Amino acid sequence: MHFLLLHPAGNGDIQWCFSQVKGTLEDDVTEADIISCVEFNHDGDLLATGDKGGRVVIFQRDPISKNSIPRRGEYNVYSTFQSHEPEFDYLKSLEIEEKINKIRWLKRKNPAHFLLSTNDKTIKLWKVSERDKRVEGYNTKEENGTIRDPACITALRVPTIKPMELMVEASPRRIFANAHTYHINSISVNSDQETYLSADDLRINLWHLEITDQSFNIVDIKPTNMEELTEVITAAEFHPAECNVLVYSSSKGTIRLCDMRSAALCDQHSKLFEEPEDPTNRSFFSEIISSISDVKLSNSGRYMISRDYLSVKVWDLQMETKPIECYPVHEYLRSKLCSLYENDCIFDKFECCWSGNDSAIMTGSYNNFFRVFDRTTKRDLTLEAARDIAKPKTLLKPRKVCTGGKRKKDEISVDCLDFNKKILHTAWHPSENVVAVAATNNLFLFQDKL
């Protein structure tokens, strides 16, 4: 896996440079190694990734890089564990993949860390803790753990605590299963840190972190007759501060805000965010590209961003009629929609994320490009998570895509883009300009140049 850096230059543009690299850059990538989610914890000291093989890898920020001046965003492997295994539903003759769809951290309350991870059907609560001491001198068992013969015990020993090499243990504390008929696409921890939601294509369930055998269905859009189905839920998230408010997006390009105080079943939304379609852009692919693949509320709780296939939109929670900002991500692909439909790329689900102070937005594209939009200066930047970066602190050059005519030296033609290389998963450090970008089986880290 991989790691790199982000920095505003004196002219206001954002520059990036290479920080560190971990893992290998092999051409032969196995399906199980492909990263499927990336998530920083609340203080940014830990970064978790999940992959299609059901593994969770946690990286910890290097203490030296954290305390150095200027601070550097370097992370080392902290813990690796198998979160989910492949299963088979014999009643439905259906294979359940081990792929980790989402990871969400709980706020830290004690020396241990807790996180939720989910595949298509089962959510697990994991405890990640450190152990640097061991107990020696048991009376009833040997040091290797075998039980001693009671006849051999002739004296009473007082066990003693001895220091040992630091060991990080990951143990499943809760397993939340059998509540979703369809594939889980989202989980979100509530601000009360006691409950969380899980969403599939047609339903959203509310769970208590201490109760595994029951959940409460708060949204159900399943029609009586499935032939009348016109939309599905694509993403859902709790408000960062108001524990009664949640939002969820749909394949129809709408976002609904629900208030759990108004009704137990939130089928009737409180607000509906939808932008009227421009008739001049109407095409066969309009419904597909308007589907929202990700929605994220801002850290302040005032705004939210939604990602559809071609753009990122910023919404004010006080204004439902239209977004207050719209940033085209790869408008040059509008002329390629037919071929993107044929190779199924048009159904790719790109994620998006906020910077810690809500002043910038990041999302991914093809050819291992990712986009950063500065909301203050309205500048945008296209960068490539490239594998040919040699040294730490190597400056990354902005990339440009040309759509026709004469191509300039540093530009790449839209016809030369590699659609097999795509940045679907990104994460931004909660308080610093450190970002994580997943490109196939490589994790790139970038930070600002101070």
Q: Does some domain include residue 429?
A: no
| Residue given tokens 């201490």 in the structure block | 210
- For residue range 168-180, list pLDDT tens digits in order: 899 999 999 999 9
Q: pLDDT category, 12, cuts 50, 70, 90?
A: very low
Distance CA 130, CA 133 (A): 9
Tell me what pLDDT residue 28 has. Answer: 65
Tell me what pLDDT residue 90 has. Answer: 82
Give the total number of structural domains in the chain.
1
Tell me what pLDDT residue 428 has. Answer: 95
Tell me what pLDDT residue 10 has. Answer: 34
Nearest to 129 by CA among 38, 44, 40, 46: 46
Q: Does some domain include residue 62?
A: yes
Task: Say yes or no to pLDDT of 98 above 70.
Answer: yes
CA distances in angstroms from 390 to 19, 29, 256, 393, 410, listed in the order given: 10, 21, 46, 9, 19
- For residue range 39-91, list pLDDT tens digits in order: 999 999 999 999 999 999 999 998 888 877 777 778 999 999 999 999 888 87
Amino acid at 59: F
Task: Say yes or no to pLDDT of 15 above 80.
Answer: no
Q: Does some domain include residue 188?
A: no
Q: Does some domain include residue 77?
A: yes
- For residue range 109-160, list pLDDT tens digits in order: 999 999 999 999 999 999 999 888 888 878 888 777 788 888 887 888 888 8
SS (H, E, C) the chain: CEEEEEEECCCCCEEEEEEEECCCCCCCCCHHHCEEEEEECCCCCEEEEEECCCEEEEEEECHHHHHCCCCCCCEEEEEEEECCCCEEECCCCEEECCCCCEEEECCCCCCCEEEEEECCCCEEEEEEEEEEEEEECCCCECCCCCECCHHHCCCCCCCEEEEEEEEEEEEEEEEECCCCCCCCCEEEECCCCCEEEEECCCEEEEEECCCCCCCEEEEECCCCCHHHCCCCEEEEEECCCCCCEEEEEECCCCEEEEECCCCCCCCCCCEEECCCCCHHHCCCCHHHHHCCCEEEECCCCCEEEEECCCEEEEEECCCCCCCCEEEECCHHHHHHHHHHHHCCHHHCCCCEEECCCCCEEEEECECCEEEEEECCCCCEEEEECCCCCCCCCCEECCCEEECCCCCCCCEEEHHHCCCCCECCEEEECCCCCEEEEEECCEEEEEECCC
For the chain, the average pLDDT equals: 88
Q: Does some domain include residue 317?
A: no
Q: Does some domain include residue 204?
A: no
The whole-number average pLDDT for the span 223-244 is 94
In the chain, % of residues over pLDDT 70 = 92
Tell me what pLDDT residue 17 has. Answer: 63
Q: Does some domain include residue 266?
A: no
Q: pLDDT category, 7, cuts 50, 70, 90?
A: very low
Q: Please give the model's pTM, rounded to 2 decimal places.
A: 0.88
Task: Say yes or no to pLDDT of 403 above 70.
Answer: yes
Domain with residue 73: its CATH number is 2.130.10.10
- For residue range 186-230, list pLDDT tens digits in order: 999 999 999 999 999 999 999 999 999 999 999 999 999 999 999
- For residue range 330-383, list pLDDT tens digits in order: 999 999 999 999 999 999 999 999 999 999 999 999 999 999 999 999 999 998
Q: Does some domain include residue 219?
A: no
How many other C-beta atoms are found inside a 10 Å radius of the C-beta of residue 363?
Answer: 25
Full residue range of the structural domain in which residue 64 is found: 19-119+122-132+164-177
Task: Say yes or no to pLDDT of 164 above 70.
Answer: yes
